[in-house]
């Protein structure tokens, strides 16, 4: 009989993040999936989710753990309930947003779930019901950039890097434009009619995002670090200031660098 394979623990996840440059007091925004997570400790999918979340939290005990809980249905005229509308971007983020002590932002398109001691500066723009600019100067992405936070990818590729779209808006790229969506956002007994602004791409033009070359460029210049969890998920940690600087440089060299049309694809 063969020996049972050792399972990946929460402590190993936390230690790997530290090795990749995550500090105890960092603000990290985590895109995650269960791809490659079969060997994460836990007898069930729910137990594996708990292991991953414990590992992520333990990496930033004095900082902020944030995860996307995006809900695009507001674009289709559906109301958004901060407390009840489920995340559409994976089981891990949905599990996280339901945990005690986790708070969800009030952006009806690109909400995020956060846990930790948040800077006072984040309170009103993130949690107050009202008009929101998804990638704007008071979005979760802007505040993460202001805090010199990090973007973490756990078992998913760099193509999930929503933060790059915030940088596109900062740089006012010509292939995207602001579009407004209107509807109702509620939390508890409070509800508001709001406008949500989204820096969209025209769907009738050749504007298809392609972010993987940006990830490669960041690894090459040291702005991102990668590790594999012993036959488990791949981890990548990226510095937000490096993402911004690399996007600006690459777009100056190739205005279509973040699009498929900017690369010779075979």
**126 phi and psi, to 5 degrees?**
-85, -40
Strand ranges for the chain from DSSP E: 27-32, 64-68, 80-81, 103-104, 112-116, 132-133, 150-154, 177-187, 190-200, 224-228, 234-239
As a whole number of angstroms, the distance between CA 200 and CA 165 comes to 9
Chain position carrying tokens 């960041």: 218
Q: Give how far the C-alpha of residue 46 lies from the chain's centroid of Cα atoms, to the nearest Å.
A: 21
Q: Residue 8 gets which letter from DSSP?
A: B
Q: What pLDDT score was predicted for residue 3?
A: 43
Taking residues 86-103, report their average pLDDT. Answer: 95
Return d(Cα 233, Cα 92) in angstroms, integer: 14
pLDDT at 5 > cutoff 70 = no
Written as one string, the DSSP assignment of 58-108 is HH-TTSEEEEE---GGGGGT--EETTTSPPSS-HHHHHHHTSTT-EE---S
Half-sphere exposure of 169 (CA within 13 A, CB side): 22
Residue for token pair 């993040």: 17
- Across 110-133, average pLDDT: 96
- What is the per-residue pLDDT for 36? 66
pTM of this structure: 0.94
| DSSP, res 43 | S
Q: How confident is the model at residue 229 (pLDDT cuts 50, 70, 90)?
A: confident
For the chain, give the mean pLDDT: 93
- Of the pLDDT bands very low, low, confident and very high (cuts 50, 70, 90), residue 1 is very low
Residue 212 pLDDT grade (very low, low, confident, very high; cuts 50, 70, 90): very high
What are 131's two structure tokens? 């008009």
- Report strand pairing: 234-239 vs 150-154: antiparallel
135-174 pLDDT tens trace: 999 999 999 999 999 999 999 999 999 999 999 999 999 9
């Amino acid at each position: 009989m063969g020996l049972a394979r050792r399972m990946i623990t929460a402590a190993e996840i936390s230690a790997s993040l530290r090795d990749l440059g995550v500090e105890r007091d960092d603000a990290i925004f985590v895109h995650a999936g269960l791809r490659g997570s079969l060997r994460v400790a836990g007898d069930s999918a729910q137990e594996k989710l708990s292991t991953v979340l414990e590992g992520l939290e333990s990496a930033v005990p004095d900082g902020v753990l944030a995860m996307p809980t995006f809900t695009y249905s507001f674009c289709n005229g559906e109301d958004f309930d901060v407390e009840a509308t489920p995340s559409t971007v994976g089981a891990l983020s949905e599990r996280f947003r339901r945990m005690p002590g986790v708070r969800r932002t009030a952006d009806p398109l690109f909400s995020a779930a956060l846990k930790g001691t948040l800077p006072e500066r984040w309170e009103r723009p993130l949690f107050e019901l009202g008009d929101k600019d998804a990638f704007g100067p008071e979005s979760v992405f802007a505040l993460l950039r202001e805090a010199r936070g990090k973007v973490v990818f756990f078992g998913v590729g760099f193509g999930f890097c929503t933060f790059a779209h915030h940088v596109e808006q900062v740089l006012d790229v010509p292939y995207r434009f602001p579009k407004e969506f209107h509807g109702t956002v509620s939390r508890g007994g409070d509800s508001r009619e709001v406008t949500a602004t989204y820096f969209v791409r025209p769907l009738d033009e050749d504007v298809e995002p392609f972010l993987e070359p940006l990830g490669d460029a960041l690894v090459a210049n040291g702005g991102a670090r990668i590790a594999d969890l012993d036959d488990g998920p791949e981890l990548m940690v990226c510095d937000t200031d490096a993402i911004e600087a690399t996007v600006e440089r690459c777009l100056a060299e190739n205005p279509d660098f973040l699009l498929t049309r900017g690369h010779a694809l075979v």
